[in-house]
A and B are shown apart, each in its own frame.
Chain A
Amino acid sequence: MTAQPISAIAVASRQAVLLVFVSLVFGGLTAWLHPRMPGYAEGRMGAGALHLAAIEAQETPVLWVDARTEAEFEEAHIPGAILVNEDDWEGGLMRFMNVWDPAHWVVVYCDAETCQASQAVMQRLKDELGIDNVYYLEGGWQVWKEAQP
C-alpha cells in the first residue's frame, strides 16, 4: 500500500539530484569559460563605485552617463551627461559612441543609493565595449543634486 508514494519520492529525488549535478557542472564551466561572467572580485555590488568627492578631486575628464528614464533625464540631469539606459540600449550606445573618448572616465549614475540601473549599464558598457575605466556614482543623482550650491 505504501510502496508507490515512497517509490515516487525516490524517483523524484534521483532525478532532481541528476539535474542538480549536471547544472553544477555547467555552472562551473560558466565560471571558467563564459566571457561575460565577472570575476569573483569584480562582480561584487559596489565594485566600481566612486564617491562624488573622489570624482571631483581627480583631473581626468569625466563623461557622465545618465541611466535613469528618459522622462527623468529630460526633467534634469548633470550638465553634459548623455542618456544611456536599458529602455533604449541601442540608441544610448549610439549617443555614447559619438562622444566617448578613451582618455575620459565614464561615470554612470541613476537615481539614488537603492537603484541598480547605473551598475547594470556600467557592466554592459564594460562587457559590450570592452571599456575598463567605467564607474558608477555612489548615491547617484540625489547625491550630486545635494552637493550643488
Chain B
Amino acid sequence: MIMLLLRWLAGAVFVLSGILKIVEPGRFLLDLQAFGFISYPLAYATALFLPWMELFCGVALWANRLTRGASVLLAGLTLAFITLLLFSEWRGVDVECGCFGEWFVFPSLGAHVAFNLGLLVALVVIAVRSRATK
C-alpha cells in the first residue's frame, strides 16, 4: 500500500512536470539557459528530451512497469537537479526551475530542496523495493 502511494505520488510529480514542459518547450529552454553554466547545445537537447523522459518514467511508475529503471533514472535526475539548485544559489544566480510552469512556484529555496529530497528518498525506496522482473 505504501509502495503504491509512493509510486503514484512520485509518478504524478513527473507526469505533471513533463507535460507542462512539453506544452511550452521554449519556456523550459529559457529556464535551462538561465542557470548560466549549461551550454546552449546541451540546453536545447535537454529541452527536447528531458520532458519526455519525465513523462514516460512517471507513467512507468504509475503502471508499475519498467519501475526499477524509471525510478533509477528519476532519482539521478532529482539528485542532479538538487545539485544544480544549490550550485546556482551559491553562485548568486536567481533562477526559476520551470518545473511546474506557472502552476506552482516554491516559496523558498529551502522548501524547494526539501521537496526534492523527499522525492529522492521516495524514488530510492521504489528502486530498491520494486521487483526486478517488472
Contact = CB atoms under 8 A, between A and B. Distances in A.
Interface residues of B, number: 38
A103 to B, nearest CB: 25
B130 to A, nearest CB: 9
B40 A12 contact: no
B49 A119 contact: no
Contact of B53 (A19, A28, A36): A19
B26 A19 contact: no
Contacts of B40: 44-45
Contact of A119 (B25, B30, B69): B30
B49 A16 contact: no
A84 to B, nearest CB: 14
A8 to B, nearest CB: 5
B20 interface: no
B64 to A, nearest CB: 12
Contact of B132 (A8, A22, A127): A8
Nearest to B31: A116
A142 interface: no
B124 interface: no
A114 interface: yes
Contacts of B47: 37, 43
Residue with the highest number of chain B CB atoms closer than 10 Å, among A28, A40, A116: A116
Contact of B102 (A30, A40, A89, A123): A89
Interface string B95-134: 1100000100000000000000000000000010000110
B77 to A, nearest CB: 11
B123 to A, nearest CB: 12
A27 B49 contact: yes
Given A23-B52, A123-B26, A123-B27, 8 more contacts: A4-B132, A11-B68, A11-B132, A12-B69, A15-B66, A30-B22, A31-B48, A37-B48
Report, nearest first, the 3 A-B pairs whose CB atoms are least far apart.
A15-B69, A27-B49, A27-B48
Interface of A: 4, 7-8, 11-20, 22-24, 26-28, 30-31, 34, 36-38, 40, 43-45, 86, 89, 114-116, 119-120, 123-124, 127
10 contacts: A7-B132, A8-B68, A13-B69, A19-B70, A23-B49, A23-B56, A31-B48, A43-B44, A116-B30, A120-B27
